[in-house]
Structure 1
C-alpha cells in the first residue's frame, strides 16, 4: 500500500480528535517559530532601546508588511502554479515557473530600495514616524536597512514555500526554525551587547534571512531537489510571470489589509495620545500576535481534516472536525483573556527597559485592546473553516468586513471615549464579527448534521 493511500486511509478512519492534534501541533509550532522572532525583536528593542524604539518599530512596520505581502504574493502564486504543473507531469514548465518566481523576487528586490531609499524622508512623514526626534532617528535607521534589504525580507517565504512544495516539508520547517534562532542570536549580539538600536535589529533580521535564502537556493541546485536547477540552463518561463502574480494577489491583499489596520491604529493613537501610546500598542500587538499565531496554527491544522471530509462526502466527520476546532479555539481564547486581564503588568514588563510609564500604558492597552480575544479566535478559526469547506466567498467577506467596520470604529469611537476609544475599536468589531461567524458556523454544523440524518434515513 503506497504512502498516499495510507495517509488518506488515516484521514478516513482515525478518530477526528487524534487527527486534529496530529495536524494542529506541528502547524502551531511552525507558526509560533516564525512569529516568535518578531515578538523577540520587540522584547530586545523594548529592553535595550526603550519605548521610543518600540514606537519607532511599530510606526515603520506597515511598510515592512507591504514587502512581506509582495513576498507572499510571489510565494503563493508560484507554489500554486508549480503544484498544478507538477500534478500534470509538466516538469519543464514547473522549472520555468520556479525560475520566473526567482526573477520576480530579484526585480522587486531591486525596485524596493531604488524607489524607497531616495524617498525615505517622505515615507517617514507619511508613517507619522517623524513626530518625535528620538523616535524618528530610530525609525529612519530601521526602515533604511529594511528597504535596502527588500529582497531578503521577501526571499525566505518564497524559498520555504518552494522547498515545501518540492516535497520537503521538514527541510522547509528546519530552514524557518534556523532563521528564527539566528535572528534571536543576532538580536542579542547587535541590539543587546553592541547597543546598535533599531539598526541592529534590522541588520540581525536581514542576516538571518540571507542565510535562509542562500540555503534554499543551494537546495534547488543540489541533487536532492525534484525540480533541480542547473547554472547552464536558467531559462525563466516569462509567460508564467502574470499567472504567478494573479494567483498570489489574495495573499498580498491580506497583508496590505493588516498594514492598513496597523497604520490606522498608529495614526489615531498619535492623534489622541503620544509616542508612548504607540509603544503601548506595540506591547498589546506583540502579545496579541502570539495568541493569533497559536489560533492560526490550530486553524491551519484543522484545514486538511475539514477539506478531506468535505471532499470525501463525510458530513459527520466534517461536523466533528469543525466543532472540535471551534471548541479548542474558544478554550484557548478564554485562557488567554484570563492571563491578560489578571497579569497585564507582568506581560508589559517583558517589553520594558524598567520604565514604569511604559508598564502602566502597556497594561491599559492590554486590558482594553484584547478584551474580545475568544471572539477574535473564533473569527480566525471560522474563516479558515469556511475556506476549507470551499465557501471562499463567505471567508473573504468576513475578512473584508473586518476592515470596513474597523476603520469607521477607529475614527468615531475616540470622539466619544478619547484614547480608550482607539483601544476598544477592535474588541467591538471582533464582538460583532464573532457573533456573525458563530452564526455562520452554527448554520454549517446544522447543515452537516441534517446531511448525515438524510444519509442515515
Structure 2
C-alpha cells in the first residue's frame, strides 16, 4: 500500500520515509563507483581518465530528467495534497511522455556533438578514442537515463519509496554483473563499462514504466492525457534549479579536468575521477534525503498545513547537519582503503588521490545545507529562488573558485575550491531561507489533529 503523506512526521517516521530514497541514491553511486573500479584496475589510468572526461556530456543531457522529476514532482504532490487524484495522474502521465520524447531528441543531439566536444575540452590520443567509445554508448542511453531520474522522484510521491529502492538495486546489480562479465571476462574495456551502465539505466526506466502502466496500489498511474503546456512549463521552471545544478556539476567537472591537465596532467584527472566516485556516494546521502522529503513539503503545501511544513524544515536542518559531520569523519577513516581499491597499483597516484580527497572532504560539512535549500524552494513551488541558489552555487561559485583559488594555492587550490564555493553559496542559501520563510503559508497554520 502507498504510504500516508498526510500524517505528522516524527524524526523516526521521517527517517523511515526518506531512508529508501537515501538508499536508492547511495546504491546508484555505488554502482557508478564499481564502473570506475573495473575500468581503473582492468583498463588502466588512461581509460579511467577517458571515462571521467566523457561522462559529463551524457550527464548534461540526462539532466532533463532531474528538471522534469523535481519540478513535476512538486506539482503532482501538490495536486494530490489538494485532493484531485485524477488531475494528478494526468499530470504525472504528461511528464512521463515529455521525458520519453525529450530523451530521444537529446540522444540524437549527443551523438552528433560528442567528438567535437571532447576534442574542444583537450582530449587526445588514446584518451580521446576511449572517451568516444564510452560516451557514444552512454548518449544512446539518454532516454533511459531521463526516465530513470524522473521515476526516482515520482515514486516518492506515488507512496512507493521501497519500490524505488528495489528498482535501483535491480538496476545496480545488472550494471555490476555486466561490468564484471564484459570488462573482466570478455575484455571489452570501456565499451563494457558503458554497456553495463546502459543496461542498469534501462532496468531503472522500464520496470517503473511497466508498473505504472498497469493497475497498481500506488497513488499514481499512467492514464490518457494531453500536453498541458502551461503546467509543463511550470514543471520545467520549478525544476530548472536541479537541472542547472546537474548541468553545472558536469561543467564544473569539465573545468576541473582542464585545470588538472594543466597542473598535474593525466594523473590529476584520474585522481579526480576517484574523488568524484566517493563524492557521488556522500552527496547521494544529501540528494536522497531531499528527494524523499520534498514530496512531503509539496503535499502539505497543497493541504495548507504550515505547521507540519515548519516541523519538517526544523528536523531536516538537524538531519542534514549531523549527516555532514558524520560523512566528514567517515572520510578520514576510509579514504586510504578506498583509494587503494582504485589506484593501489600506482604509488604516486595513490598518494595524490589520498591527499586530494582529504582536502576535498571539508566541503561535506557545508554541502548538505545548500542541497537542501535548493530542494526546499523547489518543493514549495518557488522555482526562481531555487534556480538562483543552484546557479550561484555552481556556475558562479564552483567554476569561479576552481579557476581562481589555484592561482593562489597552486594544485591544492583545485581540491579546496569546492569548500570555498559551498561556503560562499551557504550565505545566499541562508539569506533566502530566512527572508522568504518558504515553510510559512502567509502566517496561517493548520493545527495537527
In the superposition, the TM-score normalised over structure 1's length comes to 0.80
Verify the 8 A CA contact 1:17 1:324 in the aligned structure 2. no
Query: How far 1:280 sits from its partner (Å)?
Result: 0.4
In 2, Cα distance between equivalents of 1:164 and 1:418: 44
Partner of 1:427: 419
Verify the 8 A CA contact 1:48 1:353 in the aligned structure 2. no
Is 2:166 the partner of 1:174? yes
Is 2:271 the partner of 1:280? yes
Partner of 2:336: 345
Is 2:188 the partner of 1:196? yes
Partner of 2:261: 270
Partner of 2:346: 355
Partner of 1:454: none
Is 2:364 the partner of 1:364? no
1:215-364 to structure 2, matched below 5 A, reads: 215-224=207-216, 236-237=226-227, 239=229, 242-299=233-290, 311-313=305-307, 317=311, 321=315, 324-339=318-333, 344-352=335-343, 354-364=345-355
In 2, Cα distance between equivalents of 1:368 and 1:101: 41
In structure 1, runs of 5+ residues without a counterpart are 452-457
Distance 1:40 1:433, change over 3 A: same
In structure 2, runs of 5+ residues without a counterpart are 444-449
Partner of 1:89: 84
Partner of 2:403: 411
In 2, Cα distance between equivalents of 1:97 and 1:319: 27
Verify the 8 A CA contact 2:47 2:190 in the aligned structure 1. yes
Distance 1:159 1:412, change over 3 A: closer
Query: How far 1:392 sits from its partner (Å)?
Result: 7.0
**Structure number with larger C-alpha Rg:** 1
Superposed CA deviations along residues 285-317 of structure 1, whole A, max 9, x for unmatched, are 111221222233345566678886994437995
Partner of 2:102: 108
In 1, Cα distance between equivalents of 2:403 and 2:329: 31
Query: How far 1:94 sits from its partner (Å)?
Result: 5.2
Aligned partner (choices 48, 53, 61) of residue 54 of structure 1: 48
Query: How far 1:378 sits from its partner (Å)?
Result: 4.3
Query: How far 1:201 sits from its partner (Å)?
Result: 0.9
Distance 1:182 1:345, change over 3 A: same
Verify the 8 A CA contact 1:379 1:433 in the aligned structure 2. yes
Superposed CA deviations along residues 226-275 of structure 1, whole A, max 9, x for unmatched, are 76558xxx664364654554444333222112112111111211122211
Superposed CA deviations along residues 38-77 of structure 1, whole A, max 9, x for unmatched, are 1221222222122112211111122122122112223334
Verify the 8 A CA contact 2:66 2:149 in the aligned structure 1. yes
In 2, Cα distance between equivalents of 1:90 and 1:10: 21
Distance 1:243 1:156, change over 3 A: same
Distance 1:326 1:101, change over 3 A: closer
In the superposition, the TM-score normalised over structure 2's length comes to 0.81
Deviates most, 110-119 or 265-274: 110-119
Query: How far 1:441 sits from its partner (Å)?
Result: 7.9
Q: Size of the alignment, in residue pairs?
A: 432
Superposed CA deviations along residues 7-61 of structure 1, whole A, max 9, x for unmatched, are 65543xxxx4434533443332222122222122122222212211221111112
Aligned-partner SS, 2:343: coil
Partner of 2:21: 27
Superposed CA deviations along residues 110-161 of structure 1, whole A, max 9, x for unmatched, are 3234333244321221333x23x22112111111101222212222223444
Verify the 8 A CA contact 1:33 1:176 in the aligned structure 2. yes
Verify the 8 A CA contact 1:51 1:358 in the aligned structure 2. no
Distance 1:360 1:423, change over 3 A: same
Aligned-partner SS, 1:372: helix
In 2, Cα distance between equivalents of 1:252 and 1:94: 22
Partner of 1:455: none
